[in-house]
């Protein structure tokens, strides 16, 4: 980065603004440096703000939508699930343990002024039950039996299947509850003044198909102008730039605490972060394994960086049909995969170190992981005799071709499974031609945490050890998913930017982006100050998250 600090440049721009009416801006002159911006680079592509679709899961839409469409509970650091009462309050019924009552905040409105109502939540649930029409990927809703919702109401109830309900805090998470009135407006043939609840209750196949198409396409940032799509959180999108970025600004209808930083310029991982830094346009960068802060010149003192222990795991999701219809067949595929070879291939490709894992509920860096090492080792063991149950089979593995890490992983799986006579076929896909699991490929490789997943069990990361152990064994027996290796990540923060804290999950650092703030005090100064001088200061960044 240039010798002049970001804060100095921003201060200078403020002075220049006073004379803007008297002379033309320097930025208007040919060859002039672009104005400074608060830029945020995310690891993947900017494709959709709907994190409830399969495409949204694969492209990490929740990193865009964490504060556009916040969840009923906010996934914070250290496995915390924080109630989001600015939006909705969820209370488990004292009369029926299978029922959770929701009350939407009376002041909760979308950026277009429309109220947040139960219709929005009912639409999310319905989408989860019809992935064939809505392209949804929200498996935990399979634990739900029904939702009571009167159109336009601020109250609704969720009824769970027998034996379920403990994980209600993982429902309606960030980026999955979208404005139903907007979906209806964009649904072909349905803009006639009807409400979503009535349309869903009708069961009309053509109406459901139209809603499903709209639920997917309306939130594609390269389709519908995202500036016209209302949001429910502290930010709204005000523009989709010509060079592939999004501009997030304060939502004027947000009744909670206003964002500390606005605007935020969000960029895809393909953007040259070092060039942004050179132009004083980079504040935060969440980097994947293709990029290192050192290689990009994002070094101290201007930038503070840290390699992160992600709770997310590169995982194979299997379609239970054909050669993988039986649990035995799925376990046979697992048995031919050499996770150590995958880790070595990733190390050779980009000099990153990842952890291998055979666990599905607990991530490898969790304190409970050592107490589950027997299950992890058994699940990750290579057994070619067991794998030969699939001898002669061809398994198609789909993955986003924009991620070279995924190709390295699939190639390593192909090599190790060939020894058992199993043919692995690479199926690279794009955001524009994503395909569908079970039709275009038998297995999908993506990266995920356990949050909102593993719907066959009531256990999650906060459960008792015995319950987690039982769940891990049951999930391993069914082998609907095959965990492989941890996600490699690095976080880079400009030295004057505070309150950037990673949650290690799907939202990454986006979960509290409305609390990010620039200060004259640097991260280094805050870290070096005595404790009594920092007690009321900002969270300093990746070196000292609170």
State the burial class of residue 160 (Cβ atoms within 10 Å of its Cβ: 0-12, 13-18, 19+).
Answer: buried
Domain containing 85 — which CATH number? 3.90.76.10
Given pLDDT bands bounded at 50, 70 and 90, which one contains residue 31? low
Give residue 9's pLDDT: 46
Cα separation, 423 vs 123, whole angstroms:
40
User: pTM of the full predicted structure?
Assistant: 0.91
Helix (H, G, I), strand (E, B) or coil at 188: coil
User: pLDDT: is 208 or 541 the higher one?
Assistant: 208
Query: In this model, does residue 357 exceed pLDDT 60?
Result: yes
Query: In this model, does residue 198 exceed pLDDT 60?
Result: yes
Give residue 24's pLDDT: 44
- Whose structure tokens read 């222990």? 309
User: Does one domain contain both 107 and 201?
Assistant: yes
Domain count, the chain: 3
Give residue 138's pLDDT: 97
User: pLDDT: is 78 or 325 the higher one?
Assistant: 325
User: Does one domain contain both 314 and 294?
Assistant: no
Share of the chain above pLDDT 70, in %: 91
**Once rounded to an integer, what is the mean pLDDT over residues 337-360?**
95
Torsion of CA 110, 116, 120, 121, to 10 degrees: 130
Give residue 537's pLDDT: 42
| Assigned domain for 247 exists | yes
Give residue 235's pLDDT: 99
| Assigned domain for 27 exists | no
Give residue 419's pLDDT: 97
pLDDT per position as a tens digit, 257-295: 999 999 999 999 999 999 999 999 999 999 987 778 888
**Once rounded to an integer, what is the mean pLDDT over residues 81-101?**
96
Query: In this model, does residue 528 exceed pLDDT 90?
Result: no
Query: In this model, does residue 342 exceed pLDDT 70?
Result: yes
Give residue 535's pLDDT: 40
The enclosing H or E element of 74 equals: strand 73-75
Domain containing 280 — which CATH number? 3.40.190.10
Domain containing 326 — which CATH number? 3.10.105.10
Containing structural domain, residue 198: 71-173+179-218
**DSSP character string of 435-465:** --BTTTBSEEEEEE-STT--TT-S--TTS-H
User: Does one domain contain both 111 and 157?
Assistant: yes
Give residue 26's pLDDT: 52
Given pLDDT bands bounded at 50, 70 and 90, which one contains residue 532? low
To the nearest whole number, what is the mean pLDDT of the chain?
A: 91
User: Does one domain contain both 235 and 344?
Assistant: no
User: Does one domain contain both 259 and 333?
Assistant: no
DSSP code at position 226:
G
């Amino acid at each position: 980065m240039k010798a002049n600090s970001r804060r100095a440049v921003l201060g200078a721009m403020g002075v220049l603004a006073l004379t803007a009416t008297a002379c033309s801006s320097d930025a208007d002159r040919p060859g002039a440096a672009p104005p400074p911006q608060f830029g945020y680079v995310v690891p993947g592509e900017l494709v959709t703000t709907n994190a409830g679709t399969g495409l949204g899961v694969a492209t990490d839409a929740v990193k865009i939508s964490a504060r556009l469409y916040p969840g009923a509970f906010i996934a914070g650091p250290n496995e915390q699930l924080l109630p989001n009462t600015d939006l909705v309050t969820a209370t488990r019924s004292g009369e029926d343990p299978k029922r959770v009552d929701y009350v939407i905040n009376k002041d909760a409105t979308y950026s277009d002024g429309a109220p947040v109502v139960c219709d929005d939540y009912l639409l999310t649930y319905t989408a989860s039950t019809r992935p064939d029409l809505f392209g949804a990927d929200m498996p935990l809703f399979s634990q739900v039996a029904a939702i009571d919702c009167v159109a336009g109401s601020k109250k609704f109830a969720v009824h769970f299947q027998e034996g379920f309900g403990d994980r209600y805090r993982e429902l309606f998470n960030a980026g999955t509850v979208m404005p139903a009135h907007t979906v209806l407006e964009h649904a072909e043939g349905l803009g006639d003044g009807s409400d979503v609840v009535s349309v869903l209750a009708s069961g009309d196949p053509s109406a459901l198909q139209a809603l499903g198409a709209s639920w997917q396409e309306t939130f594609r940032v390269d389709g519908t102008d995202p500036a016209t799509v209302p949001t429910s959180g502290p930010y709204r999108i005000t523009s989709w730039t010509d060079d592939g970025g999004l501009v997030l600004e304060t939502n004027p209808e947000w009744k909670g605490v206003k964002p500390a930083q606005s605007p935020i310029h969000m960029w895809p991982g393909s953007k040259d972060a070092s060039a942004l830094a050179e132009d004083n346009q980079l504040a935060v960068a969440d980097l994947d394994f293709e990029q290192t802060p050192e290689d990009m010149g994002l070094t101290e003192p201007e930038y503070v960086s840290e390699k992160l222990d992600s709770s997310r795991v590169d995982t194979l999701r299997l379609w239970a049909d054909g050669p993988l219809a039986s649990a035995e067949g799925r376990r046979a595929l697992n048995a031919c995969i050499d996770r150590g070879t995958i880790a070595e291939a990733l190390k050779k490709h980009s000099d990153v170190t990842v952890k291998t894992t055979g666990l599905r509920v607990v991530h490898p860096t969790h304190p409970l992981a050592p107490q589950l090492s027997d299950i992890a080792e058994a699940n990750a063991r290579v057994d070619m005799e067991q794998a030969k149950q699939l001898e002669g089979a061809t398994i198609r593995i789909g993955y986003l071709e924009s991620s070279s890490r995924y190709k390295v992983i699939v190639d390593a799986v192909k090599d190790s499974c060939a020894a058992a006579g199993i043919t692995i076929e690479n199926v690279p896909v794009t955001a524009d031609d994503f395909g569908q699991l079970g039709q275009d490929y038998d297995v999908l490789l993506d990266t995920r945490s356990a949050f909102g997943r593993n719907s066959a069990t009531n256990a999650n990361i906060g459960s008792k050890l015995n319950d987690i152990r039982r769940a891990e064994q049951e999930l391993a027996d069914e082998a609907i998913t095959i965990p492989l290796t941890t996600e490699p990540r690095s976080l880079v923060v400009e030295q004057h930017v505070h309150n950037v804290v990673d949650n290690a999950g799907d939202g990454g650092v986006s979960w509290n982006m409305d609390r990010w703030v620039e200060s004259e005090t640097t991260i280094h100064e805050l870290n070096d100050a005595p404790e009594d001088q920092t007690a009321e200061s900002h969270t300093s960044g990746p070196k000292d998250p609170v």
